[in-house]
């Protein structure tokens, strides 16, 4: 927190979620004695082990009036399990510097573990307890709920949260994707211990479980560790179905009044499914428009040329049942309209004409070359392998990715640009933007 205040980062470094030169690593598919599959990368240079895993069933599994259930459950998994109360559980973790992480997305529950090699048995034992036998003691639940409520209360005047919540609510009304995983001030108090137990029982199961391990560990040991943590889970999950959805409200602009010096803007529209044949073309085109490097069109036009904002970018976001492209910026009140006009102009220009061949070549080169940078730590490799499994891309995806990028032609790029950016955008603005008001009609 405050310790970071003194350090100022210039801008957003390039974030890459995909591509390129194949790093020198071997991914091994292993099956544990109990029959659980996992991907393993052996890395002997550093004496640690990193685990990353995902269960199908995230915040979509919450009841609408109890949004935040999965999120609260994740918060509580390391707050007591089996015979260990919260204090004892944390002491066991801390005695060996073991890290367990739990996080809820819309579709998936994500977990991670990191341990020094010498303490890995203890680490996987604590993970087993957390997943199979969480306590949810009443006093602990109330303490953690209190923290969640305090955080939600703080969000009430936070322009980033206001703009983002409204964007998702408007894009996906009456659908779980429209809700924030962390719930609301109204729903958080309604969640009972039974709800938490019900979530864990329905979601933590061996089918649809994706596991990745990176570290100084062989296949046999990895199999034993996996069984230790996961073999005791039910064979099958029991999920509520989630309906397909497409974002609505495209063409609308919504202004949320909050007294801040800088207005926060979210913009976006229909995205593209991960398994869509045009996904890679879309990924490249989006990188060119606003994919977070210092060379994107939005960065150049909004920041470099006009000084309207510190940051501006957009991303493809894909779920199991929907996909969007969503971006954001933050800009002073008297220039918000200008910044938005520039963004809308650039989006339209990309939809109408697509990228240039030079831009396409540069983006391909970047996306291929930078992939290795996304795979340079054990934690990053493990998380990426889990995502590849979730997206069902195949164990050879890292090798194939470069060719998939190369195969995208300028015609593909132009076609997908029209498809991606030609459908209109939903815009939310939180702040006091001069001359901008909410509109229910297409611009």
Partner 1 sequence: MLAKTNLTLIALVGALTSSSLAAEQAGPEVADFTLANGLELVVIPDHRAPVITHMIWYKVGAADETPGKSGLAHFLEHLMFKGTAKNPAGKFSQVVARIGGQENAFTSQDYTGYFQRVPSEQLKTVMEFEADRMTGLQLTDEVVLPERNVILEEQNQRVGNNPGARLTEQVDAALYLNHPYGKPVIGWRHEMEQLSRDDAIGFYRRFYAPNNAVVVIAGDIDPAQARALAEGTYGKIARHGSMAPRLRAQEPPPVAVRSLTLADPRVEMPTLQRAYLVPSFSAAKRGESEALEVLAHILGNGSNSRLYRALVIDQQLAVVANAWYDASELDMSKFGVHGSPRPGVTLPQLETEMDAVIAQVIDKGVTEEELERAKTRLIADAVYTQDNQASMARWYGTALTTGASVNDVRRWPDRIRAVTADQVRDAAREWLDKRRSVTGYLIKDVSPQAEKRS
Q: Which of residues 25-54 bind partner 1 (CB under 8 A)?
A: 25, 43, 45-48, 50
Give residues 220-279 in contact with partner 1 (rule: CB under 8 A).
258-262, 264
Give, for 37, the enclosing helix (H) or strand (E): strand 37-42
Question: Does residue 161 interact with partner 1 by CB under 8 A?
Answer: no
Cα angle at 172 between 171 and 174, to 5 degrees? 145
Query: How, if at all, do strands 48-56 and 37-42 pair?
Result: unpaired
- Closest alpha carbon to 52 in 167, 240, 213, 199: 213
- Is 44 or 345 the residue whose CB approaches partner 1 more closely? 44
Question: Does residue 156 interact with partner 1 by CB under 8 A?
Answer: yes
- Is 253 or 303 the residue whose CB approaches partner 1 more closely? 303
Residue 348 burial class via C-beta count within 10 angstroms: exposed 0-12, middle 13-18, buried 19 and up: middle
- Closest alpha carbon to 344 in 260, 250, 208, 234: 250
Question: Does residue 64 interact with partner 1 by CB under 8 A?
Answer: no
Question: Does residue 3 interact with partner 1 by CB under 8 A?
Answer: yes
CA distances from 7 to 3, 278, 307, 309, 331 (A): 8, 40, 22, 19, 21
305-344 footprint of partner 1 as x/- string (CB under 8 A): xxxxxxx---xxxx-----------xxx------------
Question: Does residue 183 interact with partner 1 by CB under 8 A?
Answer: no
For residue 360, the SS3 value is: helix
When binding is defined by CB under 8 A, the residue of 64, 153, 356, 409 that contacts partner 1 is 153
Least distance to partner 1, CB of residue 234, Å: 26
Least distance to partner 1, CB of residue 123, Å: 12
Give residues 108-137 in contact with partner 1 (rule: CB under 8 A).
114, 116
Least distance to partner 1, CB of residue 293, Å: 5
Give residues 345-404 in contact with partner 1 (rule: CB under 8 A).
362, 365-373, 375-379, 387
Least distance to partner 1, CB of residue 32, Å: 24
**Which tokens hold the place of 120?**
């890995």
- Is 103 or 133 the residue whose CB approaches partner 1 more closely? 103
Least distance to partner 1, CB of residue 329, Å: 9
CA 231 to CA 125: how far, in whole Å? 12
Quote the crossing angle between the two packed helices 410-421 and 336-353, to the nearest 10°: 140
């Amino acid at each position: 927190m405050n310790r970071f205040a003194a350090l100022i980062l210039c801008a957003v470094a390039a974030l890459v979620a995909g591509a390129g030169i194949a790093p020198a690593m071997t991914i091994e598919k292993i099956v544990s004695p109990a029959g659980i599959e996992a991907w393993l990368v052996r890395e002997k240079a550093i004496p640690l082990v990193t685990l990353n895993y995902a269960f199908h069933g995230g915040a979509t599994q919450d009841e609408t009036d109890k949004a935040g259930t999965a999120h609260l459950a994740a918060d509580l998994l390391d707050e007591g399990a089996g015979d260990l109360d919260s204090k004892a559980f944390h002491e066991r973790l801390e005695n060996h510097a073991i890290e367990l992480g739990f996080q809820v997305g819309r579709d998936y529950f994500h977990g991670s573990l990191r341990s020094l090699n010498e303490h890995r048995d203890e680490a996987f034992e604590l993970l087993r307890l957390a997943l199979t036998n969480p306590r949810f003691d009443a006093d602990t639940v109330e303490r953690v709920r209190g923290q969640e409520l305090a955080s939600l209360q703080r969000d009430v005047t936070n322009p980033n949260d206001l703009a983002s919540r409204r964007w998702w609510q408007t894009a996906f009304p009456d659908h779980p994707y429209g809700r924030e995983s962390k719930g609301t001030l109204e729903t958080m108090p309604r969640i009972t211990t039974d709800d938490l137990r019900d979530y864990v029982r329905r979601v933590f199961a061996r089918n649809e479980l994706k596991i990745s391990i990176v570290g100084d560990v062989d296949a046999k040991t990895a199999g034993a560790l996996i069984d230790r943590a996961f073999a005791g889970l039910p064979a099958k999950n029991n999920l509520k179905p989630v309906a397909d959805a497409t974002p609505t409200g495209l063409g609308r602009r919504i202004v949320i009044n909050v007294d801040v010096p800088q207005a926060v803007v979210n913009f976006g529209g229909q995205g593209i499914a991960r398994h869509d044949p045009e996904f890679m073309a879309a990924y490249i085109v989006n990188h060119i428009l606003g994919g977070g490097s210092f060379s994107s069109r939005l960065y150049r036009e909004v920041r470099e040329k006009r000084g309207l904002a510190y940051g501006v970018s957009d991303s493809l976001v894909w779920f199991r049942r929907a996909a969007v492209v969503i971006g954001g910026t933050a800009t002073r009140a008297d220039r918000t309209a200008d910044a938005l006009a520039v963004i809308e102009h650039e989006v339209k220009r990309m939809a109408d004409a697509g990228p240039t061949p030079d831009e396409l070549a540069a983006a391909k080169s970047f996306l291929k070359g930078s992939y290795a940078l996304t795979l340079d730590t054990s934690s990053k490799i493990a998380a990426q392998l889990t995502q590849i499994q979730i997206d069902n891309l195949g164990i050879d995806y890292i090798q194939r990715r470069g060719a998939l990028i190369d195969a995208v032609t300028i015609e593909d790029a132009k076609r997908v640009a029209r498809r991606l950016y030609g459908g209109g955008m939903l815009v939310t603005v939180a702040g006091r933007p001069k001359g901008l008001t909410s509109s229910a009609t297409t611009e």
